[in-house]
Structure 1
Amino acid sequence: MAEGWGRPIRVPGGLRARSRRGRIGRTWWSQRFIAALEELGIGGRLQRGRTYARGGQVLSMTLTRGVVIALVQGSVPEPYRVRIGIRAFSEAEWRRVEQVLAEQAGYAAKLLAGRMPTDVEDVFAAEGLRLFPADLHQLGMDCTCPDWAFPCKHLAATCYLLAESFDEDPFRIFAWRGRERAELLARLRALRGVAAEPAAPPVPALADRLDSFWTAPGAPAPPPAEDTGDWALDELGPLRSGAHDLTELLRPAYRAMTGR
């Protein structure tokens, strides 16, 4: 049976849109993404996908650099494979954008706090870039279903769930355009000159501590070699043999050997 003539096969555990009625997308950036698609002239067709998005027909969705891949269950047993591609910005383009973001304290502060600046699109526009697609040529959208309508309901459902994923984490928009969250924030910190945590004081090398390593806590360390004098003999205390003090007898020989 061709897709479109039967009811979709219900599957447990599918991805469901949180919105149960009305618009899908609660933040300005997810709504901006949907609005961008509607501006491309496919708004009417997008609405076909709301039932699929809310009914859990999207089985999985992954976002990587420049591409979103989803599996959507239709009315035939084998799920359809959906792809939504977009051009990832080059390294040079991202470097220019990051420089501007870092130079403006407001932009950097919001992004480092995990929030999306409301006018962040202006930063990209100033560099000749569009964060959200401006025309259909900037998107590559296809589905393995036989529906010739564009977008089909499987693509439309994926677009809605993609918008909701942007609600959860706005940095996914940047990741789709080629910059992961961790790398972007690290670049902003570096450009802002955020000081690193102070390094721990160096631990003295064992070779530098041999003279006191075995000294009991609180006991004075023995004097260094160049100032020892006769301290070794004094540590021995008096050693007597009959009427002779062996310690004193050894002292001239000890001084001769030590050059003192």
Structure 2
Amino acid sequence: MTPPPGRRTGPYSTGRHHGSPASRHGSPALRHDDRRRTFPALEPRTGREFASSWWGNAWVRALEDTALDLARLARGRTYARGGHVDAITVTPGRVTAYVHGSRARPYRTEIRLRTLSDEDWQDFLAAAADRPEHIAALLDKDVPQALATAAELLPTPGDLVPDCSCPDDGYPCKHAAALCYQTARLLDRDPFVLFLMRGMGERDILAELSHRNATRSASERTAAAPLPTVPAHEVLARGRLPALPPPFPLPGQPGRPPVYPEATGAPDPIALDLLAGEAASRAHTLLSSGADPIAGLSVWQDAVRLAAAHPGSGLTASTRALYRDLAAATGRTPTDLARAVAAWRQGGRPALDVLEEPWDPPAGPFDRARPALAAADFPHFRPRRNRLSTSALQLRFGRDGLWYGYESDTDREDWWPRGTPDKDPVGALTALLAHEGHTRADG
């Protein structure tokens, strides 16, 4: 991996970078290098688990979900518990240590992972500075789950790339596995180790957050206007209550929910954060417009709406958990939910109805669709209820008078919403073909 410009990435430390006092010979004290940290060898582990924090366990899962040989993982755990891993050095994109194996000379072992881009870091810092409780959590060596997903800080399967000087070609070998397990213990103690792995040191993060927080506070002090008040003794002296003051002005955007800690037996913090944010947004819309944006939705429709409002299509760790939990709560599978989300993004509630409710349309637009398609050189669509199908493409006629495109693998009958709805079946088909890069619809 290529380290960020201007950053030291050598895997070993002389031990002097921690900023020792001036020596007896009068040499100046060395500055602390915030982008290179070395941790003494950890004491042998006696407990079964290597991590107690949720982010430390996420690191362990990323290792174990990628491993190709469970026996090597078990051997790595034994090595880690037995104190075979020497001092660990962490630099951006790299974790390095000597690991003792069966021979006298230890093996040089490292774990590499991608550093975040400048844009990723800006997203992370903005999310942290936007909520004072996030800054407080970081200072307390805690990582809110909502904050960790702002820039995909946590590794996913395939993110961790092991390398070792031993002759074992396992992925990972037992020495790299041992280093990973011991690294999880470091993350437990100090989450800023994870940030350093991703490319930014603790001092830089805290300095940037301090600057953003000061700027935000100054802006809020300038923008805040005093509210009118009436002395209570004056009101009581009049013998009658005055007219109510005007309502508070509506804020420009919904409020932000607090950080929810992770606790045994408690609801998932990400789910609580999501629901609180949704409640704030719904209340803000109701106050500003007088209309409830989700009135009339069923539990299933609201679950689809929630999932569709969070991009990632179930691919990131946070959206996978969201899809899993929403599907389980509604008695559906994650695949059912993902298909419904595709429909919702295609056209909202009417598109979801088209996905789930076949119906028999009256004569008229539906009956004219096949001749229109044939005239456009697409003659092979077969009708069935409100659907026109080939072996791989399908158009569905909605109760709203729009045509919705669908696609499936040939002869699979596994239809997924695609393209943009259109009043014209030829237009809907053209959008579907352009979306998927097809050239013909008569498969």
Root mean square deviation of aligned Cα: 2.2
In structure 2, what is the Cα distance between the partners aligned to 1:43 and 1:33? 18
Q: Which runs of no fewer than 5 residues in structure 1 stay unpaired?
A: 1-13, 125-129, 197-260
* Aligned residue in 2 for 1:67: 94
CA contact (8 A) 1:49 1:154 kept: yes
Deviation string for 1:3-28 (max 9, x for gaps)?
A: xxxxxxxxxxx834553131211222
* Aligned residue in 2 for 1:55: 82
Match of 1:78 among 90, 98, 105: 105
Q: Name whichever of 145-154 and 170-179 sits farther off.
A: 145-154
Corresponding letter in the other structure for 2:122? R
Q: How does 1:1-260 map to 2 (within 5 A)?
A: 15-16=41-42, 19-42=45-68, 44=70, 45-124=72-151, 130-136=152-158, 138-193=159-214
How many residues were matched structurally? 177
Deviation string for 1:124-179 (max 9, x for gaps)?
A: 2xxxxx2222232x332111101122211101110011000111111100010011
- TM-score normalised to structure 2 length: 0.38
Q: CA deviation at 1:183?
A: 0.9
In structure 2, what is the Cα distance between the partners aligned to 1:65 and 1:22? 29
CA contact (8 A) 1:17 1:53 kept: no
In structure 1, what is the Cα distance between the partners aligned to 2:44 and 2:132? 34
In structure 2, what is the Cα distance between the partners aligned to 1:51 and 1:155? 12
Task: Give secondary structure in 1 for the equivalent of 2:154.
Answer: coil
Larger-gyration structure (1/2): 1
Task: Give secondary structure in 2 for the equivalent of 1:83.
Answer: strand
Corresponding letter in the other structure for 2:75? R
In structure 1, what is the Cα distance between the partners aligned to 2:46 and 2:171? 24
- TM-score normalised to structure 1 length: 0.62
| C-alpha distance 57-177 of structure 1, shift in aligned 2 (>3 A) | same
Task: Give secondary structure in 2 for the equivalent of 1:82.
Answer: strand
Question: Taking every aligned residue pair, what percent have the same amino acid on both sides?
Answer: 37
CA contact (8 A) 1:116 1:170 kept: yes
Q: Which runs of no fewer than 5 residues in structure 2 stay unpaired?
A: 1-39, 219-443
| C-alpha distance 43-191 of structure 1, shift in aligned 2 (>3 A) | farther
CA contact (8 A) 1:24 1:164 kept: yes
Q: CA deviation at 1:185?
A: 1.0
Q: Name whichever of 154-163 and 101-110 sits farther off.
A: 101-110
Task: Give secondary structure in 2 for the equivalent of 1:71.
Answer: strand
CA contact (8 A) 2:96 2:111 kept: yes
Q: Which has the higher contact order (CA 8 A, sep 6+)?
A: 1
Q: CA deviation at 1:70?
A: 0.8
In structure 2, what is the Cα distance between the partners aligned to 1:42 and 1:188? 40
CA contact (8 A) 2:45 2:83 kept: no
